[in-house]
A and B are shown apart, each in its own frame.
Chain A
Amino acid sequence: MQGASYIYQQIFNGIVLGSIYALLALGMALIYGILGLINFAHGALITIGAFCFYFLLFKLHLPFVLVIILTISLGGFVGFLLEAIGYRKLRGGPGPSLLITSLGIYIFIENAIKLLISPQPYAFFNPPFLNRVINSFITFRVIDIFIIIATIVIMICFALFVKRNKIGMAMRGIAESVETAGLVGINVNQVIAWSFVVASAIAALTGFMWGAKYGQISYDMGFMPGVIAFVAVVIGGIGSIPGAVLGGFLIGLIQIFTVGFLPLGWSVYRDAIVFTLLIIVLLIKPTGILGRKESI
């Protein structure tokens, strides 16, 4: 068996991947909490973010910080647009109509990117300073540290936003009950639009992280992370944002461990294992790890 440093290395890798999932799950949980919508279009924002970053940095050669800001803004803007065009009219409609629409929007964006940019994957080069390899007890690149720190910062900001900010508090109110929130004078449309903006902006940033970490971006890269983020929400516990984050880290670790510790042939089952875990969790503890009791 491998030595201790190999195990720590895998744990570290799992945390990096888990950070990305946790950020995605954060946005997913926010939208699910408010609209009860599994937002498949969340995955499309990952792709949009990655390609936006790629073109701004490598084609237009803008400075790194500006590119990050622009990517986040574009993600937020697209989120706002989707809510205004697609979801607002359908809110309160029959059963799965929001879900179907989000699926349609995802497919639309995916194929628009395939059509307009390329059906082939692009190689994603990092700015050199992010690629520096640090080789001490475990081996990592600066980008890994960047992902972890960015995740922590975003989570602290998000927690403060939800707890202190007026719009954030209104989001929690709407998550409890849309009708009651409307009755006490919360501007429901505005707050829902804001939650899409926040969730999508974070998703766009994870697109950059995904590309920077794995060195490749393609038109369909966002689908799997998007769906896995929702699995993280379910495993962690519907209705609990800390649960979603926990679920994200858990799935990240499990996927890395599948590749790192199981025999070689098993790495094909990386995604399948996540969904098997989902079915097991639904069988044993349907409310998830940190979920509230009532939802069964």
Chain B
Amino acid sequence: MIKLNYSNKPNTFTGIWIPFGIGLGFLFIVLGIFNRVLDNYTIHIITVIGIYIMAATSLNLTNGYTGLFSLGHTGFMLIGAYTSVLLTYKVSLRAAYNLPSLPALLGGANYQWPFLPALLMGGVIAAIMAMIVGYPVLRLRGHYLTVASLGFMIIVTTMAKGMRSFTRGASGIQAIPHYSNLWNVYIWVAITIFVLWRILQSAPGRAMLAIRESEVSAQSQGINLMKYKLYAFVSGAFFAGIAGGLYAHFTRSIRPYEFSFSMTFFIVIIPIIGGSRNLFGPALGATLLVAMRYLLKPAEEALGVYGLVELIYAALLVSVMIWRPGGILGRESRAK
């Protein structure tokens, strides 16, 4: 868990930038060594792990820290993925793939966006959608958000299937430019974890933790529930949009159903198994579960036992919930 005294001593240099710099330097030295030593396939897996770390860490802001339970994260990833792909798609291929050219407002027919602005745009649109969905739903107590966000995910995936002139429907978009790599994925992982850390150290972050413990007592302390719930939901959605964009430009082909329930379930269980109250819990969970998937998939296909991986995940999830509710990096007691 994070040391709580940082916010009391606002020495931004020693308190924030030095730990961040050391962590970042260490991360990239390790990645650099990996990049030299390991083969392309393993690097591929490590990059996938990075994308899931980002998705799960940002989801944890709502699901772990604010105590809301969202199942709509892949909906935001889908929005981020399709937005950034439509913006960065090669002009010469647009006609062949039946994709529309960009409207004049976004650069016109002969313009292809650079990667970074397109990625950010994906994140921003996802955040705006989160605001629209979050506003009616987050006013309510109880688990309305769970079902409404699940519904949002279903609405978004069916719309991606239905709006053929935009998204090519169920056949999906292929030949996406290959922009994501080990380095920019992990830069975004570092940014996500850093921003989450800063949010949790700030007043809004404390408000979120208070909301998780008890909405009634948080409200009686003068915390505007709606505002901070929406804060958590929208920031989570922004990073989900970015993660979706990175995912699309990494796998180079997206289809609407990829972002439906199985991926949702996968991302939702990562922080729970890793430890949803620890900043690095989702990272650990993502590493374990993605590695497990890549190790077990060949066995699953060889033996013809489809569903084995999900079965193991589900069993793991239920066991964690019953015997170690805080996750692997969680603490036994419910104090703090």
Contacts and interface: CB of A to CB of B under 8 A. Distances in A.
Interface of A: 36, 38, 86, 89-90, 93-97, 99-101, 103-105, 107-108, 110-112, 114-115, 119, 219, 223, 227, 230-231, 234, 238, 265, 268-269, 271-272, 274-276, 278-279, 282-283, 286, 295-296
A104 B148 contact: no
27 contacts: A36-B142, A38-B143, A90-B321, A90-B325, A94-B67, A97-B321, A101-B317, A104-B314, A104-B318, A105-B314, A107-B310, A108-B311, A110-B307, A111-B308, A111-B314, A114-B306, A115-B305, A115-B308, A115-B311, A119-B307, A219-B307, A275-B150, A276-B151, A278-B148, A282-B136, A286-B144, A296-B140
Contacts of A105: 314, 318
Contact of A107 (B142, B150, B313): B313
Given A93-B325, A108-B318, 5 more contacts: A97-B321, A99-B69, A99-B146, A265-B162, A274-B151
A6 B158 CA distance: 28
Contacts of B315: 104, 108
Nearest to B155: A272
B140 A286 contact: yes
Contacts of A89: 322
A115 B69 CA distance: 29
A37 to B, nearest CB: 8
Contact of A279 (B133, B141, B159): B133
B334 interface: yes
Q: Closest 5 A-B residue pairs measured CB to CB?
A: A275-B151, A108-B314, A111-B307, A114-B307, A283-B136
A94 B143 CA distance: 13
B268 A103 contact: yes
Interface residues of B, number: 46
B140 A96 contact: no
Contact of A296 (B139, B147, B148, B308): B139
A238 B140 CA distance: 12
Interface string B301-336: 000011110110111011001100100000000100
A96 B63 CA distance: 9
Interface SS majority for chain B: helix
Contact of B325 (A94, A99, A111): A94
B188 to A, nearest CB: 27
Contacts, number: 135
Interface string B200-229: 000000000000100000000000000000
A119 B301 CA distance: 13
Contact of B152 (A38, A96, A275): A275
Nearest to A266: B162
A104 to B, nearest CB: 4
B137 interface: yes
Given A95-B67, A223-B261, A271-B158, A90 B139 contact: no
B146 A38 contact: yes
B314 A38 contact: no
Contacts of B151: 227, 231, 274-276, 278-279
Interface of B: 63, 67, 69, 133, 135-137, 139-144, 146-148, 150-152, 154-155, 158-159, 161-162, 212, 261, 265, 268-269, 272, 305-308, 310-311, 313-315, 317-318, 321-322, 325, 334
Contact of A104 (B69, B154, B161, B317): B317
Contacts of B322: 86, 89-90, 101
Contact of B69 (A36, A86, A95, A283): A95
Contact of A272 (B67, B158, B308): B158
A189 to B, nearest CB: 17
Contacts of B311: 107-108, 111-112, 115
B144 A97 contact: no
Contacts of A96: 63, 67, 69, 143, 146
B133 A115 contact: no
A254 B213 CA distance: 39
A275 B310 contact: no
Nearest to B300: A115
A84 B69 CA distance: 24
B142 A295 contact: yes
A104 B151 CA distance: 18
Contact of A286 (B69, B139, B143, B158): B139
Contacts of B141: 295-296
A268 B212 CA distance: 37
Nearest to B272: A100
Contact of B147 (A119, A230, A265): A230
Contacts of A94: 67, 325, 334
A272 B268 contact: no
Contacts of B314: 104-105, 107-108, 111
B86 to A, nearest CB: 20
A90 B162 CA distance: 41
A227 B72 CA distance: 14
Residue of B63, B308, B314, B325 with highest tally of chain A CB at under 10 A: B314
Nearest to B69: A96
A108 B312 CA distance: 8
Nearest to A119: B306
